[in-house]
């Protein structure tokens, strides 16, 4: 969170800053941030200032739920929630509120939404097959399922709220692109 806050503060003030970079091939396909000295610098003296930032990430836009909402969802039908301790899910839900300070900075939001969130399992398997072919490293199919099972509860808990809109005070600033398993847009919704 500190890195995100510092990055956005620098961008918004037009100050020189480095753009964090991520490499999915690190740590056998689990990925990690690249060293800071390899990140490109923007807003350097004499350069044009950044006017648009596209901030991409799988949990961007998720908003926390009430503890009761988490309990209700935990006790309902689920693919992965019961693989996790309810206290851990409540902890993650509580920590998610810190992201609001970043989300509230956005002028617009584009949500690429899988028609069925379980597609992420097959999509991640496809990524790892390509990664193993290109770099000679990556997770096995079994490791991919365990890896996705670890973060899939976030989809189960927070996707519906995201689909209904991340902004309470900005109308028509969210675009929801519903994609099929083939990753083609099937529906476009303005929120």
SS3 62: coil
Q: Are 73 and 176 contacting, i.e. CB atoms less than 8 angstroms apart?
A: no
DSSP state of 188: E
At residue 179, what are phi and psi to the nearest 5 degrees?
Answer: -115, 145
For the chain, give the percent of residues with pLDDT over 70.
100
- 131 pLDDT tier (thresholds 50, 70, 90): confident
The mean per-residue pLDDT over the stretch 78-92 comes to 97
Over 90: is that where the pLDDT of 59 sits? no
Q: Which residues pair with 175 in a beta bridge?
A: 110, 190
pLDDT, residue 30, reads 78
**Nearest 5 degrees, angle CA 103-CA 107-CA 187?**
90
pLDDT, residue 135, reads 85
Over 80: is that where the pLDDT of 58 sits? no
For the chain, give the percent of residues with pLDDT over 90.
87
Alpha carbon distance 164, 1 (integer Å): 25
Task: Lowest mean pLDDT of 14-18, 29-33, 47-51, 120-124, name the range.
Answer: 29-33
Average pLDDT of the chain? 95
Higher pLDDT, 88 or 28: 88
pTM of the model: 0.86
Q: Where are the alpha helices (DSSP H) in the chain?
A: 2-13, 67-74, 86-96, 100-103, 119-135, 141-163
Alpha carbon distance 4, 23 (integer Å): 17
Alpha carbon distance 124, 118 (integer Å): 10
């Amino acid at each position: 969170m500190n890195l995100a806050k510092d990055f956005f503060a620098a961008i918004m003030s037009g100050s020189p800053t480095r753009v964090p970079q991520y490499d999915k091939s690190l740590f056998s396909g689990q990925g990690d941030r690249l060293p800071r000295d390899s990140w490109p610098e923007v807003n350097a003296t004499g350069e044009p200032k950044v006017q648009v930032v596209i901030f991409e990430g799988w949990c961007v836009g998720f908003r926390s739920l009430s503890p009761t909402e988490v309990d209700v969802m935990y006790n309902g039908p689920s693919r992965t929630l019961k693989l996790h301790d309810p206290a851990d899910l409540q902890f993650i839900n509580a920590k998610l509120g810190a992201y609001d300070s970043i989300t509230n900075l956005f002028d617009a939001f584009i949500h690429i939404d899988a028609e069925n969130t379980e597609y992420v399992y097959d999509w991640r398997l496809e990524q790892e097959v390509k990664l193993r072919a290109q770099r000679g490293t990556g997770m096995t199919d079994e490791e991919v399922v365990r890896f996705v099972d670890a973060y899939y509860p976030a989809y189960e808990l927070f996707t519906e709220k995201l689909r209904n809109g991340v902004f309470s005070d900005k109308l028509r600033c969210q675009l929801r692109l519903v994609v099929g398993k083939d990753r083609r847009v099937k529906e476009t919704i303005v929120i």
